[in-house]
Amino acid sequence: MKVLRILCGIAVLLNSLHLTHAVHHFYYAYGPVHDAIYWASAALAVTLGILSFIGGCLLLRLGR
């Protein structure tokens, strides 16, 4: 069970890293857009990335 938690924690951290990379490329591909839907989706992506990072850290701490 310990190994599974560690592997899941690493997978979640890699997923949050990929999400951050995708948001970065999306922002620079479309430039600063003043559309409300763009900013709402960017805020949602950042929130999900932060929560994903916290979840991955918690999984790694439980695996020790």
pLDDT tens string, the chain, 64 residues long: the values are 788 888 888 888 888 888 888 877 877 777 666 778 878 888 888 888 888 888 888 888 886 6
State which amino acid sits at residue 63: G
Segments of the chain assigned E as strands: none
CA dist list (Å): 22 to 1, 5, 40? 31, 25, 16
Q: Give the gyration radius of the chain's Cα atoms.
A: 15
CA dist list (Å): 21 to 1, 10, 11, 28, 42? 30, 17, 15, 11, 12
What global pTM score does this model have? 0.69
Q: What is the pLDDT of residue 3?
A: 86
User: Which residue range forms the structural domain that includes residue 45?
Assistant: 2-63
Q: What is the pLDDT of residue 37?
A: 80
Q: How many domains does the chain have?
A: 1
Q: What is the pLDDT of residue 64?
A: 67
